[in-house]
Amino acid sequence: MTDRATTSSARSGRLDPELRQLVRELLLQLQDLPQDDPRRVAVRDRLVELNIPLVRYLARRFPASKEPLDDLVQVGMIGLLKAIDRFDPERGLEFSTYAVPTILGEIKRYFRDSTWAIHVPRGTRDLHSAIVSARAELTQELGRSLTLADLAERVHATEQEVLEALDAGQTYTSSSLDAMSDVIGEGRDAAFGFEDGRLRQVEWRADLRPAIANLPEAQREVLMLRFVYDQSQTQIAKAMGVSQMQVSRLLSRSMRHLRSELGTPAAAPVDAARAPVDAPRAPVARRGRSRALTHA
């Protein structure tokens, strides 16, 4: 085989006349050899070698695939071996005429049966493959964005069936948790399993509710304004019509009471759950309550 012939075959997938003749002779020789003849192995290997460019050419016809080209070539080689074993040279056909649909069928079967992340009905998978091919052809033919109607007409399906096939196509591949955690930059456990601090707040709120309920109304209101509505002492004093000093004393008294009720050390914060009770409507500013607050 000349270098020029090899290069031409690799580019077009078609064998030069001299190579086609060699393939034909080898196929005839293979047919004449008994099944147990050790020479069959060498003849078969030579036929595979000569037709590798054809397999690679056909594998490149699936550029939209996420599968590596080498993987598709390996699958195509299975189809080539089947074609070599089944081909009957006495029928007068070119070997490539028989081999091409056999190789393509093997590659398409691989896509249909082996590359989907989850099980999808065969009919839906076949329709998805048809849509992928039709989308490339129609985009080139029409020169515009395609509609569901365009695709449905080309693949002879309803728009609903096209939608379902496209949705199913989203399950073609899946990302592993390890790969996702690598993107995040953390280990899988750190990225997908963590302690939710809000769960602990559930306990704190459950303990705080009865303790707050035992407080006088003025102290409950001060706590509400401070920890639910996140108002400053100055804002609370203005809303309640009292001095900031009185607000500070009420807060201190309330916190001491809550710590006593909960058995919490004096240095420990009681406001870990920023909303100790369910937040009602914001209170309206009221004046003239100094005496009530002083006795609270």
Residues 163, 91 share a domain: no
Residue-level pLDDT at 288: 45
Residue-level pLDDT at 268: 47
Q: What is the span of the domain harbouring residue 262?
A: 198-294
Residue-level pLDDT at 45: 92
Residue 128 near residue 165 (C-beta atoms within 8 A): yes
Residues 161, 99 share a domain: no
Residues 7, 110 share a domain: yes
Q: Name the average pLDDT for the chain.
A: 75
Whether the full predicted model's pTM is greater than 0.75, yes or no, is no
| Residue 72 within a domain | yes
| Residue 185 within a domain | no
pLDDT tens for each residue of 48-77: 999 999 999 998 887 766 678 888 899 999
Confidence band (pLDDT; 50, 70, 90) for 273? very low
Residue-level pLDDT at 261: 81
| Residue 133 within a domain | yes
Better pLDDT: 85 or 67: 85
Residues 203, 254 share a domain: yes
Residue-level pLDDT at 113: 66
CATH number at residue 28: 1.20.120.1810
Q: How many domains does the chain have?
A: 3
Average pLDDT, stretch 168-186?
A: 53
| Residue 236 within a domain | yes
Residues 89, 20 share a domain: yes
Residue-level pLDDT at 285: 45
Half-sphere exposure in the Cβ direction for 126 (13 Å, CA): 8
Residue-level pLDDT at 35: 86
